[in-house]
């Protein structure tokens, strides 16, 4: 999934980026409101983790502007323990959830997955696909009852296709699920990961639509 972390604390941001990228997510980082607004204007995110206290303004202003523009991306607020009024204001402004600092990174990752699934219209974590069983919450896959081990990037691409089941995803959309802004994109990366997934999951799981992209039927 493509995620955006808006956090001005270098240490906390580094920890969040490391934890989320280790799960295969493509994660962009913004340290202030202006950078966050610019990123949200040009990229589609599965979820945004938004700090409220930013050096150039309030994260609430970023949230309100996105909701006013019709953006329905899930937002999780990161707040200090004594910011109860800000939490209430954030939820009233359209935030989907909040975590209180200091928060557990594992809990944050679970909340991100849950809200991203709901944003895709697929709240259920457990899925069945013609002999393939998937637990999106645990990022695990079984083929005919045997667990299949996917790399972080393989899972990221497969999860993007799961979130768009029945819809064709073009190569640029899949690249967005694999790479953050500051990452060099390999020209044939999508084809490579699709080939690896077909080897592990079976040739009929992912279909190619010539000139359009890939789809999970």
> Each residue of 113-149: pLDDT tens digit?
888 877 766 656 688 887 899 988 778 899 988 999 9
Structural domains of the chain, count: 2
Check whether residue 16 and residue 65 sit in a common domain.
yes
Find the CATH number of the domain harbouring 147.
1.10.10.10
Domain of 148 in residue numbering reads as 126-215
Check whether residue 99 and residue 179 sit in a common domain.
no
Check whether residue 144 and residue 113 sit in a common domain.
no
CA distance 28 to 2: 8
Spatial contact of 26 and 2, defined as CB atoms under 8 Å apart: yes
Spatial contact of 206 and 161, defined as CB atoms under 8 Å apart: yes
CA distance 174 to 91: 31
Which pLDDT value is given to residue 49?
Answer: 97
β-strands 97-100, 53-54 pairing: unpaired
How sure is the predictor about 188, in pLDDT bands with cuts at 50, 70 and 90? confident
Check whether residue 111 and residue 139 sit in a common domain.
no
CA distance 128 to 145: 11
Considering only 74-88, 100-114, 148-162, which range has the smallest mean pLDDT?
Answer: 74-88
Number of residues assigned to the chain: 217
Q: Which of 92, 119, 146 is the endpoint of a domain?
A: 119
Q: Does pLDDT of 184 surpass 80?
A: no
Spatial contact of 174 and 214, defined as CB atoms under 8 Å apart: yes
Q: Does pLDDT of 107 surpass 80?
A: yes
Find the CATH number of the domain harbouring 49.
3.40.50.2300
Which pLDDT value is given to residue 123?
Answer: 58
Check whether residue 10 and residue 92 sit in a common domain.
yes
Query: Cis ω on the peptide bond leading into residue 77 (within 30° of 0)?
Result: no
* Model pLDDT for residues 80-94, shown as the tens digit of each residue: 766 788 888 888 999
Token pair, residue 13, equals: 């941001």
Question: pLDDT over 70 for what percent of the chain?
Answer: 94
Check whether residue 65 and residue 114 sit in a common domain.
yes
CA distance 90 to 95: 6
Check whether residue 48 and residue 80 sit in a common domain.
yes
Angle, to 10 degrees, between the axis of helix 171-178 and the axis of helix 152-163?
130
Q: Which of 119, 147, 168 is the endpoint of a domain?
A: 119
β-strands 140-143, 146-148 pairing: antiparallel
DSSP string, 172-205: HHHHHHH--TTSPPPTTHHHHHHHHHHHHH-TTS
Which among 124, 130, 125 has a CA at the least distance from the CA of 143? 130
């Amino acid at each position: 999934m493509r995620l955006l972390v808006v956090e001005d604390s270098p240490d906390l941001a580094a920890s969040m980026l490391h934890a989320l990228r280790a799960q295969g997510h493509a994660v962009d980082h913004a340290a202030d409101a202006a950078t966050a607004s610019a990123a949200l204007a040009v990229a589609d995110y599965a979820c945004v983790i938004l700090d409220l206290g930013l050096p150039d303004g309030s994260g609430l202003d970023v949230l309100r502007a996105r909701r006013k523009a019709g953006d329905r991306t899930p937002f999780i607020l990161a707040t200090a323990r004594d910011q109860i009024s800000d939490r209430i204001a954030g939820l009233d402004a359209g935030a989907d959830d909040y975590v209180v600092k200091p928060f557990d990174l594992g809990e944050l990752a679970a909340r991100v997955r849950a809200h991203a699934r709901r944003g895709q219209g697929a709240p259920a974590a457990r899925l069945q696909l013609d002999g393939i069983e998937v637990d999106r919450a645990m990022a695990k896959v079984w083929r005919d009852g045997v667990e299949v081990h996917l790399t972080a990037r393989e899972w990221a691409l497969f999860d993007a296709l799961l979130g768009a089941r029945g819809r064709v995803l073009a190569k640029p959309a899949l690249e967005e699920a694999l790479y953050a802004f500051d990452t060099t994109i390999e020209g044939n990366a999508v084809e490579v990961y699709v080939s690896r997934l077909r080897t592990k999951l079976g040739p009929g799981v992912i279909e190619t639509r010539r000139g359009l992209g890939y789809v999970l039927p």
